[in-house]
C-alpha cells in the first residue's frame, strides 16, 4: 500500500509545466512572384510546433492541406527564461494562388506537443489583392 507521501511524489513527478503564447500573429506580404506568409509565436514552453495549411472548400466543408514546400521554420530558446519563440515563413507562388474572384484561405496552427494547447490564426487572400 502506498503512503500519501509517495503518492504525492509520484503525481509531482508527472506534473507538466507549460507556458502559453504571449504573442501569436500571422501576416502576408507581397513579393515579386507571389506572397510571403509569416507566422510567429513567443513566450512558450515546452518547445512548440507551428504548421501552415491552405484551406480548400470541398463539398460544403473545408479541407486543410499542409504546405511544406517553400516553408521554413525556426525555433529559438531564450537562455534566461527557457521560453521558446517560433517563426514560420512560407512562400506562396503566383501559380498556386486561385483565379480571380476566389479567396484563398490559410491557417497557422500552433501546438505544444503532449498537451491540449492549440491555437490557430487564419488569413484570407483575395486574388488580385495581395
pLDDT of residue 1: 52
pLDDT of residue 12: 52
Which pLDDT score is estimated for 3?
56
Helix (H) or strand (E) holding 8: helix 4-13
Q: Is 79 left (phi over 0), alpha (psi -120 to 50) or beta?
A: alpha
CB atoms within 10 A of CB 75: 14
| Beta strands across the sheet bearing 103-111 | 61-66, 49-58, 103-111, 118-126
List of the chain residues with pLDDT < 70 = 1-16, 57-60, 94-102, 127-130
pLDDT for position 63 = 80
CB 47 within 8 A of CB 115: no
Domain regions of the chain by residue span: 19-126
Domain 19-126 has CATH 2.60.40.10: yes
Residue 47: closest CA among 118, 112, 116: 112
Q: What is the pTM of this model?
A: 0.78
pLDDT tens digits along 92-106: 876 655 554 467 889
Amino acid at each position: 500500500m502506498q503512503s500519501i507521501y509517495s503518492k504525492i511524489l509520484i503525481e509531482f513527478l508527472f506534473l507538466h509545466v507549460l507556458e502559453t503564447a504571449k504573442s501569436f500573429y500571422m501576416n502576408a506580404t507581397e513579393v515579386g512572384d507571389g506572397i510571403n506568409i509569416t507566422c510567429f509565436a513567443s513566450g512558450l514552453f515546452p518547445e512548440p510546433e507551428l504548421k501552415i495549411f491552405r484551406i480548400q472548400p470541398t463539398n460544403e466543408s473545408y479541407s486543410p492541406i499542409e504546405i511544406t514546400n517553400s516553408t521554413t521554420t525556426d525555433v529559438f530558446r531564450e537562455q534566461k527564461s527557457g521560453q521558446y519563440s517560433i517563426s514560420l515563413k512560407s512562400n506562396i507562388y503566383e501559380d498556386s494562388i486561385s483565379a480571380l474572384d476566389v479567396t484563398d484561405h490559410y491557417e497557422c496552427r500552433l501546438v505544444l506537443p503532449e498537451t491540449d494547447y492549440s491555437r490557430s490564426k487564419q488569413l484570407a487572400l483575395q486574388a488580385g489583392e495581395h
